[in-house]
Amino acid sequence: MLDVDGAVDRAEGGWIATGDEWVYDRERYEAIAAARRAEQAVMRDYMAAKRCLMRALRESLDDPEAADCGRCSVCTGTLPAADPRPATVSAATDFLRSQTIGIEPRKRWPSGASRRGAIPTELRPEVGRALALGEDPAWGDAITTALAADEPVSQEILDGIVKVLSRWGWPQGRPTWVTWVPSRRRPRLLPDLAERVAQLGRMQLVEALQPHAGSAPWQSDAPSQGAAGIAALRRWTATTALPAGPVLLLDDECRSRWTTAVCAALLRESGAGPVYPLVLHKIL
């Protein structure tokens, strides 16, 4: 129980005055402030490199055997090279790009939508994948550049996608066909990408989704997640009698996950097997 110097006691739903006078504990708070200032001074000394960096760290941790290390930039008098070796940068990039970025399926339709309640398991997509996440240091400008222009993606991006596919594992069987989410903003990027991925993976290419006649123009600034979901439910229709095998569903960006939820349901209702969503950029 938190006791503020005896003046109040915590009670259910709030506080109760004890009747004792409240006194500012100057000594205690000044001691805390002094301890914090001492810690800040240690950090400033470390940054200013006034003495061996390892000694500074060990002394801060009360290590009785703290001594000059002979290896740090203060001891040797030289800083590490400003430019890392290209091989190091390349290895770090490969490592960052090999991380799996999952996209969990949505489980319920938004309230107020034309569909209600839980999304039936057989209509949900599989756990999807994204190539890049947020301000992804693994991709940096490459993904921004790819999405800024409605053009075929670079070989670098395509190579990244191929690696994501090769690591996927396909829990519900390997996809036998590829389709994409039609986009008004980028009508060329995804059909082109779907065609290249289909060729590389020897999968059938099927134009399975179309914008719903009379659907509202794309709005990326829907006022809420629920509103985005309701809009997504009105946006597309699927071709009937689709191939029955598992399908890879390509999209450019993913934020609310409503696009993949709605498109997966439409594809499955039109005969498709398990749906694996793959997006270029998962926005945080």
Binding-site ranges for Zn ion (CB under 5 A): 52, 54, 69, 72, 75
Close Cβ partners of 159 (under 8 Å, ≥ 6 residues apart): none
- Considering the complex, what minimum distance in angstroms separates the CB of residue 83 from Zn ion? 23
For residues 76-109, one letter each, b for 16 or more C-beta atoms within 10 angstroms of the residue's C-beta and e for the rest, the string is eeeeeeeeeeeeeeeeeeeeebeeebebebbeeb
Over its C-alpha atoms, the chain yields an Rg (Å, rounded) of 28
Cα–Cα distance for residue pair 33/164, rounded to 1 Å = 51
CA distance 60 to 23: 34
> Smallest distance from the beta carbon of 71 to Zn ion, in angstroms?
6
Nearer to Zn ion, 43 or 149 (CB): 43
Question: From start to end of the chain, where are the E strands?
Answer: 3-4, 8-11, 14-17, 101-103, 128-133, 177-180, 204-205, 209-211, 236-238, 247-254, 275-282
Nearer residue to Zn ion within complex by CB, 52 or 161: 52
Q: Which is nearer to Zn ion, 72 or 123 (CB)?
A: 72
Q: Choose between 69 and 142: whose C-beta lies nearer to Zn ion.
A: 69
Shortest distance in whole angstroms from residue 86 CB to Zn ion = 28
User: Of 72 and 272, which has the nearer Cβ to Zn ion?
Assistant: 72
Which SS3 state, helix, strand or coil, does residue 177 take?
strand
Among candidates 217, 219, 284, which has minimal Cα distance to 257? 284
Nearest CA to 170 out of 201, 194, 148 is that of 201
User: Smallest distance, Å, CB 45 to Zn ion?
Assistant: 13
Task: Count CA atoms closer than 13 A to 65's CA, side-chain side.
Answer: 1
| CB 88, min distance to Zn ion, A | 23
Query: CB of 43: closest distance to Zn ion in angstroms?
Result: 17
Closer residue to Zn ion, CB minimum distance, 45 or 150: 45
